[in-house]
């Protein structure tokens, strides 16, 4: 009786370990590799006395071991084959759970983590968040038809700004910062239906005091939308996504060559200088139709094109409703040569309303952009020009306010150690003379930033490090002593 109870205990423990392993790793092993009680099957068959504890009962007989292995094989087969024999899903990342275990040597691991092209890949129109490499559910029949993938990145660093002798707020808040803390969950079915849910735990939303330049970090949605992609040429997005306008927005934050986006895109924020908004359209809530097609025999080979059309509320992200009953419209077209060269342009029109009742004013925003991206032999180039204007039909005597910015950035990743020197020239005039009526809000307020960067892209780890130094050349209306040093460490998963 004691022996029977002991054997029953071993069987229960073995079955629990087997089920736990399958749920945790989602990598069912073949019958030849299954451990029934922490002991390899060959050891059980041979009755190896060293393969078990001295206090444990004798190993099962060969016949019992074979019968147990057959039961495991039948259970594994039932888990890995869907009842309705559905078609195989679309190609997924190489290192995923639920597939045959593959042992990679050092060179193959490096190839997985560090692809041939340098960091800063050419963006499509628009960008989808970088898919994660960890499958957290699916393939085993535990979640029905859904395949769930987890990814994200953490970017933390240090910022030091020169102390301006005349403006007390500039340069007095140097310190460590959480730049981004993103977590992305992507779900997709075999028929192209899916969703993206991404949030950022490093968003700056609340000031710690009325007169304090320090902002408290908060959790905030970034990309949250459902999509249906039956073909490469057709994908429909509904929810909150990046507006298909400025090409800098379409490049994932995890692939940026500098700690921050350019002054044209993001403007001047917090204690960096006199605050001014950039020309980015950011994220919007609405509906979008996008797609791409390449004429090569393989995906993203040879000539191709990508497009995006979007209708949104026009009042930015994380807003429950539109500011009025009119929509904003975006359109982008890009011509590609594989993943190496892309030439693009975009337009937007936004008829919005500003202010609180009864002091509400209608405004009309317009903008265009043109850009060139090149990614060849370790070198990357991005050239970009943006122009926007805003006028108000409710204020006919007020001049139209125009803005113009352009950016040129160059980088080269040497092939041996992963070092990547970079340089960016960015010029932004928030009140330029672009348009029929010159702006009279400011004169001599152009911002010209020179950013020198050095990046390190680890060869066998998903880790990046960056050091940037920005020289600010500002005209009289915005002139400050505010050169800036930014250091960043990024970990992706």
Each residue of 250-297: pLDDT tens digit? 999 999 999 999 999 999 987 899 989 999 999 999 999 999 999 987
Residue whose tokens read 């994908």: 235
146 Cβ contact list (under 8 Å, min separation 6) = 137, 138, 187, 188, 189
Around Cβ 395, how many Cβ atoms within 10 Å?
A: 11
Cα distances (angstroms) measured from residue 486 to each of 158, 176, 262? 6, 10, 13
When mean pLDDT is compared over 10-19, 118-127, 288-297, 394-403, the highest value belongs to 288-297
pLDDT mean over 394-415: 90
User: Above 60 in pLDDT, residue 76?
Assistant: no
132-187 pLDDT per residue, tens: 666 766 654 445 688 889 999 999 999 999 999 998 889 888 999 999 999 999 99
Q: What's the pLDDT score for residue 55? A: 45
Sequential DSSP letters for 389-449 = EEE-TT-TTSPPEEEEEEEEEEEE--TTT-EEEEEEEEEEETT---SSS---S-SS--EEE
214-245 pLDDT per residue, tens: 888 888 999 999 999 998 899 999 999 999 99
245 Cβ contact list (under 8 Å, min separation 6) = 280, 281, 330, 332, 346, 348, 367, 369
Q: Which of 182, 103, 188, 176 is nearest to 137 (CA)?
A: 188
Residue whose tokens read 């130094």: 469
Looking at every residue in the chain, the average pLDDT score rounds to: 78
Q: What's the pLDDT score for residue 85? A: 37
Which fold is adopted by the domain 111-492? Answer: Porin (2.40.160)
User: Above 50 in pLDDT, residue 78?
Assistant: no
Length of the chain: 493
Sequential DSSP letters for 70-135 = HHHHHHHHHHHS-TT-PPPPPP--SS-TTS------HHHHHHHHS-SSPSSPPP-SSPPPPPPSEE
Q: What's the pLDDT score for residue 393? A: 85
pLDDT, greater one: 25 or 487:
487
Q: What's the pLDDT score for residue 112? A: 47
User: Above 90 in pLDDT, residue 435?
Assistant: no
97-108 pLDDT per residue, tens: 333 444 445 444
For 212, counting Cβ atoms within 10 Å of its Cβ (0-12 exposed, 13-18 middle, 19+ buried), the class is: exposed
Q: How many helices (H) and strands (E) does the chain have?
A: 6, 17
Question: Taking a C-beta distance cutoff of 8 angstroms, is the pair 6, 56 a contact?
Answer: yes
User: Above 80 in pLDDT, residue 484?
Assistant: yes
- Helix (H/G/I), strand (E/B), else coil: 250: helix
Around Cβ 16, how many Cβ atoms within 10 Å?
A: 10
Computed over its alpha carbons, how large is the radius of gyration of the chain?
28
Question: Taking a C-beta distance cutoff of 8 angstroms, is the pair 464, 455 a contact?
Answer: yes
Task: Indicate the pTM of the whole model.
Answer: 0.73
161-176 pLDDT per residue, tens: 999 999 888 988 899 9
Q: What's the pLDDT score for residue 331? A: 97
pLDDT mean over 6-20: 42
Kindly state the helix (H) or strand (E) to which residue 66 belongs, with its residue range.
helix 62-80
* DSSP E strand stretches across 328-400: 328-337, 341-354, 361-376, 379-391
């Amino acid at each position: 009786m004691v022996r029977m109870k002991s054997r029953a205990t071993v069987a229960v423990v073995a079955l629990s370990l087997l089920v736990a392993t399958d749920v945790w790793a989602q990598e069912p092993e073949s019958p030849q590799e299954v451990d029934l009680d922490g002991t390899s099957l060959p050891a059980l068959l041979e009755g190896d006395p060293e393969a078990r504890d001295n206090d444990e009962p004798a190993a099962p007989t060969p016949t019992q071991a074979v019968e147990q292995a057959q039961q495991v094989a039948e259970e594994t087969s039932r888990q890995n084959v869907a009842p309705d024999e559905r078609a195989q899903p679309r190609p997924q990342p190489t290192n995923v759970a639920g597939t045959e275990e593959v042992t990679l040597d050092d060179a193959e691991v490096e190839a997985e983590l560090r692809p041939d092209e340098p960091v800063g890949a050419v963006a499509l129109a628009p960008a989808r968040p970088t898919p994660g490499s960890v499958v957290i559910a699916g393939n085993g029949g535990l979640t029905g038809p859904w395949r769930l993938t987890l990814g994200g990145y953490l970017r933390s660093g240090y910022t030091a700004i020169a102390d301006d002798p005349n403006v007390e707020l500039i340069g007095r808040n140097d310190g460590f910062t959480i730049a981004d803390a993103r977590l992305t969950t992507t779900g997709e079915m075999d028929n192209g239906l899916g969703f993206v849910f991404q949030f950022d735990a490093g968003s700056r939303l609340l000031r710690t005091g009325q007169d304090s330049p320090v902002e408290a970090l908060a959790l905030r949605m970034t990309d949250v939308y459902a999509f249906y992609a039956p073909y490469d040429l057709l994908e429909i997005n509904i929810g909150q996504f990046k507006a298909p306008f400025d090409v800098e927005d379409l490049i994932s934050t995890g692939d940026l060559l500098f700690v921050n986006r350019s002054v044209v895109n993001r403007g001047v924020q917090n204690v960096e200088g006199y605050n001014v908004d950039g020309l980015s359209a950011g994220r919007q809530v609405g509906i979008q139709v996008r797609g791409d097609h390449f004429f090569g025999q393989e995906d993203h080979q040879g000539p191709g094109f990508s497009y995006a059309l979007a209708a949104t509320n026009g009042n930015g992200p994380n807003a429950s409703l539109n500011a009025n009953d009119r929509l904003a419209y975006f359109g982008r077209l890009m011509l590609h040569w594989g993943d190496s060269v892309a030439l693009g342009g975009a337009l937007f029109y936004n008829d919005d309303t500003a202010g609180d009742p009864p002091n509400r004013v209608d405004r009309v925003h317009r903008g265009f952009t043109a850009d060139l991206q090149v990614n060849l032999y370790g070198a990357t180039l991005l050239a970009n020009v943006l122009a926007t204007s805003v006028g108000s039909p409710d204020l006919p005597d007020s001049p139209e306010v125009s803005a113009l910015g352009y950016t040129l950035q160059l980088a080269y990743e040497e092939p041996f150690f992963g070092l990547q020197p970079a340089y960016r020239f960015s010029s932004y005039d928030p009140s330029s003379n672009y348009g029929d009526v010159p702006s009279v809000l400011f004169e001599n307020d152009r911002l010209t930033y020179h950013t020198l960067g050095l990046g390190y892209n680890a060869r066998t780890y998903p880790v990046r490090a960056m050091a940037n130094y920005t020289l600010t050349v500002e005209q009289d209306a915005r002139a400050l002593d505010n050169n800036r040093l930014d250091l960043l460490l990024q970990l992706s998963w």
